[in-house]
Structure 1
Amino acid sequence: MRHVHGRARRAGAALAAAMTWALLLAGAAGCTAGGSGFGGMFGRPAGPDDVIRITPDDARENVRPDQELSVRVPDGHLESVRVVRSQDARETPVPGRISADGRRWKPAEERLALAAKYTVDVVALDGDGHRVARRTTFTTYVPEERFIAYVAPENRSVVGTGMIVSLKFNREITDRAAVERAVSVTARPAAEIRPHWFGTDRLDFRPEHYWKPGTEVTVALEFQDVEGAPGVYGLQDKTFAFTVGRSQVSVVDAAARTLRVTRDGTPLAIVPITAGARKTPTYNGKMVITELLEITRMNSRTVGFGGEYDIPDVPHAVRLTDSGTFLHGNYWSPADTFGRENVSHGCVGLRDVKGGGAETPAGWFFDRSLVGDVVEVVGSDDAEVAPDNGLGGWNMGWERWRAGSALR
């Protein structure tokens, strides 16, 4: 029995030795992931995530836009890096460059996009010359609050020479410099165009003097992912353009009760008007047409005059201020009022008929006007219109206008 047991022990030892060599040979054949030789027997083999280091980490969520995106290798060098951003159902390659020593890649973009998925594909050689590949993905923060700008004038419109580019934001902007940097306004032929902030929710742009007729203006908004206020990010990434038409400047003389219309330097007509009465005078100053309404309702309660009037069908209404100053058709006053007496609540009235007539003074002016035309009031007993009341920015001197930039 002892002899039998001794043979069994010798057979077991031989079997164990054979299994050990088989495992070593298997290791030598390269069956360990990412390693070579016998490395897998004596420690964890080097895998792709050891050779290629990617930040942010794989599968990470809610990555903030200021988080660094980088790829590096401690040893060896990078062969290729491809990064794709998926956002709003579109895939966009992210440009970047590999450093001179081949060990680091950085994107050309300084900040990550919000609400996006990033996919990073990397091929590298480790320190022993073995090729390794790695893919990671991560998603960025999706903000709950966004800001947008409502823009004037409209895209592809033809406007008068007094047009001011005006951006009205739906939320308060506290980092005005960041938002201002994201707007570009250019003109052909070239002109110096400067921005001015009115409070924290409006940004206007204009040249020093009225635009030259024929000027083509392009406005680029690159608000996507710009942080305009803590936790509030921009949504728009768009470009629009407009063309400046002929020059038309009209002067309302409230004392003489006339409207003098000049087109490209040539007088067109002098039209009798009625301006604001003594207790409710018309603003003085330069105003810009922002709306042309064939017919509109005017209710005194909407402009702080109580129940003094409510006219449901005012014809040929040309808006001049946000506060309710219009140049409009007037069919309810006697014909001899125009040119003789100021009776309005601050608007400028031209003779018209109920429903609006094409051949009346109001119809004639309406048909020859563009959004962006300038109407200047002189000779009134009221103060000058505020620069932020409608597009009243032409009432502000150039140096003061320029001082209203957040980047001065």
Structure 2
Amino acid sequence: MPTRPVGSAVAGVVGQAEPRSGEGRPTVGVRRRELLLGIAGGVVLAGCGRDHPQARKPPAPAVIRFDPAPGALASPRATGAVTVTGGTLTTVEWIDETGRALPGSLTPDRRGWTATEPLGYGHTYTAKAVAHGETGEIIATTTYPTVAPDQLVDVSLRSANQNELAENDTYGVGFVLVAHFDQAIDKAAAENCLRVVTEPATTGSWFWLDDRNAHWRPEHYHAPGTRITVSANLFGIELGDGVYGARDQRVSVTIGAAHVAIADDDTKQIQVFDNGNLVRTMPTSMGRGGTAVIGGRLLSFWTRPGVYTVLDRKDPVIMDSATYGLPTNSRMGYRTSINHAVRISHDGIYVHELAESVWAQGNTDISHGCLNISPADAAWFYDFVVSGDVVEVRNTGGDPLDIWQNGDWSIPWADWRHGSARS
């Protein structure tokens, strides 16, 4: 009988030869079934070995956080807030010592709450928050004492005429901003709370006259149309030992046209410019000059040289020499009513009409220090100017105009900057 190649019947299964004559075939069949069952069983066992589900983390409770952080005096400026992670807020309460609730609102996702007003001075709040998370409801509470000042200080935001600024007022290009505190303060702390923003942007600086009064101006006159916004963010800020700011303020004003009057004692004329264009020339008679000691006080009769600004206007005004130390009944004293008077200094210098001195206007100085002009010129000038317009006095004698007299613009810029509490 022909011979088959060794192993040809089962090479694809086990790779072994069939049994020789005399060895039974069932043995081969059994081994094949055992091998196939072993392979199949291995597949099943391997599949079961991969089926190991990961262990699940236990649920975590929600976490509530208060802001500002508890444990110290809270700033009166602070705004109370509550946040929660791993849950949502159910209720939030901030109750002061009187039982009043601090108003506030929840975020749409109920994960945060913010008060709608600051904590304020001298309160003790009890804050309570309830939140719901994976482990159920949790409650957190804390207390907040706030600063109780020994004194509160306020500031008045003014122009150089000492009148309070009003929103959208218009001033001349010589406008000077004045911050007047109603008691002595720490100048550096206060200046850090004062902010001036101009549009277009202009670099300016504060100059402290003393520990209650600060003036602000740029190096050069303001550009017409400039918008000036001043903020005094004093509330909750310590301005001295136990002294805190009473409130925040903010006001904006606008600079009008460039009105500049130049009074030259060499020519005895006042030239008035509107945005750089000469619009009127007015003959004048200024201070006669010299000094005198009257009642133990040294009086000057010069119109001091320097840059003045318009403070206010009155029609009429009662002029009384006794207000600056010259008795009314003295040889040079006076008390009289004057029409169309424009005040340019805090010690009583005016640009005003005086019909009796028309003969001297344009050629001779005979006044006590004011700038006399004709009734027609005075009426025109009175209607033309606004507070903050510039009056430059040149070539007169006497001491230069001092800042307390309204001489802010007469101080050189380098010296002005050194007057800042930050310099």
**Is TM > 0.5 for Structure 1 vs Structure 2?**
yes
- Residue in 2 aligned with 1:99? none
Q: What corresponds to 1:120 in structure 2?
A: 127
Q: Which amino acid aligns with 2:342?
A: V
1:243 Cα shift? Answer: 0.8
Offset of residue 136 of structure 1 = 4.9
Indicate the residue corresponding to 2:412 in structure 1.
Answer: 397
* Aligned length, in residue pairs: 332
User: What's the counterpart of residue 5 of structure 1?
Assistant: none
Which structure 2 residues correspond to residues 333-348 of structure 1 after superposition, within 5 A? 333-348=356-371
Give me the whole-angstrom Cα distance separating, in 2, the residues matched to 1:196 and 1:396. 10
Cα distance, 1:191–1:67 mapped onto 2, change above 3 Å = closer
Q: CA deviation at 1:201?
A: 1.4
**Residue 160 of structure 1 corresponds to which residue in structure 2?**
172
TM normalised by structure 1 equals 0.69
Residues 297 and 310, structure 1, Cα contact 8 Å, conserved in 2:
no
Amino acid at match of 1:317: A
Change (3 A) 1:246 1:78: same
Question: Secondary structure of the equivalent of 1:336?
Answer: coil
Structure 1 residue 373 displacement after superposition:
0.6
Shift of 1:218: 1.0
- Contact 1:52-1:134 at 8 Å conserved across structures: no
Deviation at 1:281, TM superposition (A): 0.7
Distance in 2, Cα, partners of 1:219 & 1:90: 33
Mapped to 2, the partners of 1:250 and 1:67 lie a distance apart of: 46
- Give me the whole-angstrom Cα distance separating, in 1, the residues matched to 2:415 and 2:92: 49
Q: 1:322: which partner in 2?
A: 346
1:248: Cα distance to partner? 1.1
Label 1:55 to 1:173 Cα distance change in 2 as closer, same or farther (>3 A). closer
Amino acid corresponding to residue 400 of structure 1 in structure 2: D
Aligned match of 2:303 = 282
- 1:341-356 mapped onto 2 (5 Å cutoff): 341-352=364-375
Shift of 1:399: 2.1
8 Å CA contact retained: 1:293, 1:318 = yes
Q: 1:366 aligns with which of 357, 373, 382?
A: 382
Q: Give the C-alpha shift of residue 65 in structure 1.
A: 4.6
One of 202, 205, 208 as aligned partner of 1:191: 202
Structure 1 stretches lacking a partner, 5+ long: 1-50, 96-101, 353-359
- Asked whether the equivalents of residues 75 and 146 of structure 2 are also in contact (C-alpha less than 8 Å), the reply is no
Question: Is the radius of gyration larger for structure 1 or structure 2?
Answer: 2
Q: Per-residue CA shift, 1:359-403, capped at 9, x if unaligned?
A: x1111111100111110101111121113422x221122222222
Percent identity of equivalent pairs:
25
Distance in 2 (CA, whole Å) between partners of 1:193 and 1:341 is 39
Alpha-carbon contact 1:149-1:168 (below 8 Å) kept:
yes
Name the residue aligned to 2:8. none
Separation in 1, partners of 2:78, 2:378: 62
What is the TM-score with the length of structure 2 in the denominator?
0.67
Distance 1:248 1:90 in 2: 54
Q: Report deviation, 1:120.
A: 2.2
Note if contact 2:77-2:120 (Cα within 8 Å) is conserved in structure 1. no
Q: Residue 242 of structure 1 aligns with which residue?
A: 253
Q: CA deviation at 1:339?
A: 1.5
Judge which range, 77-86 or 289-298, deviates more: 77-86
- Contact 1:56-1:138 at 8 Å conserved across structures: no
State the superposition RMSD in angstroms.
4.0
* 1:171–1:312 distance in 2 versus 1, CA, 3 Å: farther
One-letter code aligned to 1:194: S
**Which one of 298, 308, 323 corresponds to residue 302 of structure 1?**
323
The gaps in structure 2 that reach 5 residues or longer are 1-63, 160-164, 291-300
Residue deviations 1:304-328 (CA, integer Å, cap 9, x gap): 2233434342222212122222212
1:211 is aligned, of 222, 232, 235, to: 222
